[in-house]
Amino acid sequence: METAIYNTLPDNLDRLIKRHPLKCPVAFIGGRQSTEMQQVGMAMTDKLAKGRISMLDGSHLFPHGKALRHGSGD
């Protein structure tokens, strides 16, 4: 599933967003131990989320592995 999501992202996302600004706020929840995040970096995420970033203990796909615990609002 993850590959399918990434395969649909345009490689010029930054330019698209400049031409067609988002109409709603963006927030980001990430895993502190995410190797993928460390490889890609957070520059675009920082720019889009404008401070609405939360980091939790976990790896790249932690919401899938702990969806009930993290997603229940507890």
Higher pLDDT, 26 or 71: 26
Higher pLDDT, 16 or 66: 16
Alpha helices in the chain (DSSP H): 2-7, 13-19, 35-40, 43-49, 62-65, 67-71
State the pLDDT confidence band at 68, using cuts at 50, 70 and 90: low
pLDDT at residue 74, rounded to an integer: 47
pLDDT at residue 39, rounded to an integer: 86
What lies within 8 Å, CB to CB, of 30 at 6+ separation is 37, 42, 45, 53, 54, 55, 56
Q: What is the pLDDT of residues 4-54, one digit of tens each?
A: 777 888 889 889 999 999 999 999 988 888 888 888 889 989 999 999 999
